[in-house]
Amino acid sequence: MTRPGRIAAALFSSALIVVIACGGRADERAEPSSPAPFEATGIITFGSVSLNPASEHEVFRPFVDHVASRLREVGIGRGRVVVVDSISKMVEELNEGRIDVYIDSPFPVGFVWKRTEIDLLLRRWKRGSETYRSVVFVRADSGVNSVADLAGKMIAFGEPFSTSGFLMPKAALASTGLMLDNYEDAAASIPPDRVGYVFSNDAENTMFWVLKGKVDAGAVNEDYYQALAGSRVSELKIILTTEAVPRNLVCVRRSLDPRVTDALKDLLLGMDEDEEGQGVLKGFEETARFDPWPGGPERQLAGIMDLIQYVEEDVGQ
Amino acid sequence: MRIGLRGRFIAFVSAIVIAFGVVLTALAVRVQNDLLRHELDERGKLLIAVVATHVTDSLALLDVRQLRQLINETREQENVLDAVVFDEDGRVLTDGTIKNPLRHLLIDDAARQHVAVSDALLVEFSGDVMTVTKGVRLGGRLIGGVRLRYSRAGLAKDQAVLARKTALVGIVFGVLGVLAAALLTEAVTRPLKEVIDATRAISEGKQAPHLQVRTADEVGELAAAFNEMTRRLRETTVSRDYVDRVLETMGECLVVTRRNGTITLVNNAVCGLAGASEEELVGRHCGELFRAPKGYASLLHALNPEGSVHGLETELLSSTGEEFPVMVSIAEMDESPGRSGRYVIVAADISERLRTERQKEEFITMIHHEVRTPLTAVRGAIGLLDGGVAGDLGERGRELVANALRNSKRMERLVNDILVSRKLDFGHMTFHLEEMELMPLVDQAIEATASYGDQHEVRFDLDETAPGARIEVDPDRFIQVLTNVLSNAVRFSSAGDVVKVRVNRHDGYLRVAVADRGPGIPEKFRDQVFEPFARADEADWRNKSGTGLGMSISKAIIEELGGAISFDTEVGGGTTFRVDIPESDKLRESHVD
């Protein structure tokens, strides 16, 4: 097992669950079968995956409070944020009904969607964009002209949980038939029929590592590529651009009261229409708006589900 | 506004202290600024050295994320404007921000060349900005570097804080300086104030305190000089209290006036006599208090050219309308330069004296009318009896009449002497002056007394004369004087004695000397010889004395004639009386010619 793998295993074993309630008792839950009218005593619980639960909570808290305060008509009195440290834990929490709403990138969502009863509700325009893509790039003078030339080379990805920095480019490369192995040392020797990869843990690291020749290739969010390359963009060459995927997705537990689900959907769709809602969205990782899935959620998710098979093990960690 | 010595001294010392404080503060600020600047520079250099150490591992691993975090923390350090980490080529890896706008830019050539060859800090100054660059090496190989721009403008804030603190210290020292100046001034001026207070006490007539001589400097000398001055002043002057006590207790009236006669001071005696208070009298003119003496328009018009007058009789006018006879003496009192002179008027109440004199006058009148006139009648009747008008009285009757006649004559002489004496006292005696030769008058006197000498078996011997000497006298009164002196000599001579009479010139006077060989005048009585009714205690003298008025009358007469009477005496050796009378000038001058 590689070093990141051991760390991930340790984290999984600890199965840290951080529950930060916005007031009220943890066992208070919205009863899905409660007759109307709903008493404003219920709690709606938002879930997220992060190894930094405190900062994650700070990101979600204003948004969740705002949402909860506008769901009184369906019996919601308070909102709660549950941060878990792994996708598997998220699946468990959703299956147990302890998390009502789950917001994440397409690959984690696809992983969860396959393993529990959730419905894809809306698309989230995180950081102002509705979709994003990844690029795989090399030095222009590296002699690598296509992804096939990456055999026997070392590529740098960003963070292990990053969709654009790791999961999406790795899946795209793997879908071409390349076999990728994780290394800790960027200078490790790679067999000619394999592609080695290391985590730089930062897109800027990835860019410099490629520019300085520490690795042969790198993968970053297409949105950041130009800025990171800056004046040295001419020294680089993109050899792969992935398909665009939704930037972020909002899912709800299927067993959640439909009235709550509908009320939540209506609320999120109209949140960017008033000034207070815009302010809350801006504080929520500069979310521009929420909108429905063009063509329906299943269609959009189908492409992701095709790729996720290549990184299912990585997502599950 | 007048600023006293104390104020000027405080201001002077305070100004010096404050000026010193300002200069010191300015120097302190400058030194502190230099120290601050130096410290700031050193802090910047130290900071980049620390940062360089911390970024080494991340540079080696090309961990830009970690470098971004380190530089970001560095940027948060005080006075750091910005900081970058660059690679071995001099390209910026991160400036500590996510956006990292300096990414890939090359640092300047000088810095690149410096870090390529040197481990030392490259320090560059541009205005208030200090740029420090340090290369980072690993195993001797350059792997990059750190460049930090450090603001020395932040120094201004530190300088402001420093200036405030220094100014506060300056103010504190300024206040302390002023307090010290005040204390110093107090120490210096206190002796002066003591001198001033003591001087003021003297001016107010109080007793001057003895000043303590605390120091040996000029102030100490001043205190010592003041003490010496007051000591001498006490020796040469009397206090005002003392003068006031004297004035208030003296029986005579004392009035002080200005030259124009305005009263400025009166004593109790004046107030008592005038029946007015001091407040009522001060400010009035002395003419309202004293009647103008006879022959003068006012009291002050009686002053002689020297500005004084003595023994002037006038009246003091009381507020009740009474008039008190007073004898006035006036003297001019010199004042200090610049002040007008004053007159001191001393008036003695002579009411009692005048009343006594009036009583004496009435007594003499009574003697004259009630004693002398009947006595003359008695003596005439006895004389007739003695002359046989009433027939033969028999032997026993004749003896009684002779005795009565003798005593009546004696009483008549006594009464006459008393009347003459009083006339002389009051100046009522009339002198009929004539110029005549002296010797005939002497002869007449001897002749008139010869019978009295015969009765006592004493004779006169005129053994020296002044022929032709002339005098201007009332002959009767002059003969009365000589007769008195001659009979006195007879009275104190023994039977058979000779009374020598000599007439000669002496110091411009003609002298008649009458010498007896009697018992001499007792020493205790010599001062009373010319006093009225003077009689010695000795038995011989009491028996031989006359009325006791003869010598006093003789002295008064001869002095009225411009002469003098004196005596030489020796107990047991006799007495010589000398009568000196001025020789007539006209005659003497012709005699000289």
pLDDT at B542: 56
CB contact under 8 A, A204 and B99: no
What structural domains does chain A harbor? 3-129+247-296 (3.40.190.10), 134-241 (3.40.190.10)
Helix or strand or coil: residue B438?
helix
Range of lowest pLDDT (A122-136, A154-168, B401-415, B448-462): B401-415
Whether B489 and B499 have beta carbons less than 8 Å apart is answered as: yes
pLDDT > 70: percent of chain A: 87
Indicate if the pLDDT at residue A297 is higher than 70.
yes
Q: Which chain A residue has the Cα nearest residue B93?
A: A208
Tell me the chain A residues in contact with residue B65 when contact means C-beta distances shorter than 8 Å. Answer: 200-202, 204-205
CB contact under 8 A, B105 and A231: yes
Instruction: List, for residues A230-268, the tens digit of each pLDDT value.
Output: 999 999 999 999 998 889 999 999 999 999 999 999 999
Distance of alpha carbon A190 from alpha carbon A198, whole angstroms: 12
pLDDT at A157: 96
* Extended beta strands in B371-468, E state: 434-437, 459-464
CB contact under 8 A, A204 and B94: yes
The CATH H-level superfamily of B434-592 is Histidine kinase-like ATPase, C-terminal domain (3.30.565.10)
Q: How confident is the model at residue A28 (pLDDT cuts 50, 70, 90)?
A: very low
Using alpha carbons only, give the angle B467, B472, B475 rounded to the nearest 5 degrees: 85
Give the mean pLDDT of A85-91.
91
pLDDT at A14: 37
Which residue of A154, A205, A228 to mutate against B (max B Cβ within 10 Å)? A205
pLDDT-flagged residues of chain B (< 50): 586-593
Residue A195's closest CA among A147, A140, A238, A163? Answer: A147
Whether A141 and A182 have beta carbons less than 8 Å apart is answered as: no
Phi-psi group of A141: left, alpha or beta (phi > 0 → left; psi -120 to 50 → alpha; rest → beta): alpha
CB contact under 8 A, B104 and A230: yes
| CATH code linked to domain B5-157 | 3.30.450.20
Distance to chain A for B72, nearest Cα, Å: 15
Indicate if the pLDDT at residue A4 is higher than 60.
no
pLDDT at A13: 36
Distance to chain B for A206, nearest Cα, Å: 9
Tell me the chain A residues in contact with residue B89 when contact means C-beta distances shorter than 8 Å. Answer: none
pLDDT at B574: 92
Nearest-by-Cβ selection for B64 from A202, A227, A231: A202
Average pLDDT, whole number, for chain A?
A: 86
HEC sequence for B331-393? EEECCCCCCCCEEEEEEEECHHHHHHHHHHHHHHHHHHHHHHHHHHHHHHHHHHHHCCCCCCC
pLDDT at B546: 65
Indicate if the pLDDT at residue A103 is higher than 80.
yes
Please report, as a single letter, which amino acid is at residue B104: H
For β-strands B323-333 and B309-317, DSSP reports them as antiparallel
What's the full length of chain A, in residues? 317
Give the mean pLDDT of A105-134.
92
One-character DSSP codes across A244-297: PEESEEEEEETTS-HHHHHHHHHHHHTGGGSHHHHHHHHHTTT---EEPPTT-H
Tell me the chain B residues in contact with residue A201 when contact means C-beta distances shorter than 8 Å. Answer: 65
Distance of alpha carbon A132 from alpha carbon A102, whole angstroms: 20
Tell me the chain A residues in contact with residue B100 when contact means C-beta distances shorter than 8 Å. Answer: 204
pLDDT at B211: 80
pLDDT at B336: 54
Tell me the chain A residues in contact with residue B62 when contact means C-beta distances shorter than 8 Å. Answer: 205, 208-209, 212, 214
Whether B321 and B262 have beta carbons less than 8 Å apart is answered as: no
Nearest-by-Cβ selection for B104 from A201, A202, A231: A231
> First and final CA of chain B: distance in angstroms?
87
Q: Which chain B residue has the Cα nearest residue A159?
A: B65
CB contact under 8 A, B68 and A204: yes
Eight-state DSSP code of residue B520 = -
**Gyration radius (Cα) of chain A, Å:** 21
Two structure tokens written together for B21: 């404080």
pLDDT at A15: 36
Strand order in the sheet with B509-515: B459-464, B498-506, B509-515, B574-582, B564-570
CB contact under 8 A, B64 and A232: no
Nearest-by-Cβ selection for A202 from B65, B87, B103: B65
Nearest-by-Cβ selection for A204 from B87, B100, B105: B100
Output the CA torsion sign for B168, B169, B174, B179.
Answer: positive
Task: Report residue A199 CA to chain centroid gap.
Answer: 17
Task: Write down the ipTM of this complex.
Answer: 0.77
Q: Which residue has the higher pLDDT, B7 or A180?
A: A180
Domain covering B240-349: architecture:
2-Layer Sandwich (3.30)
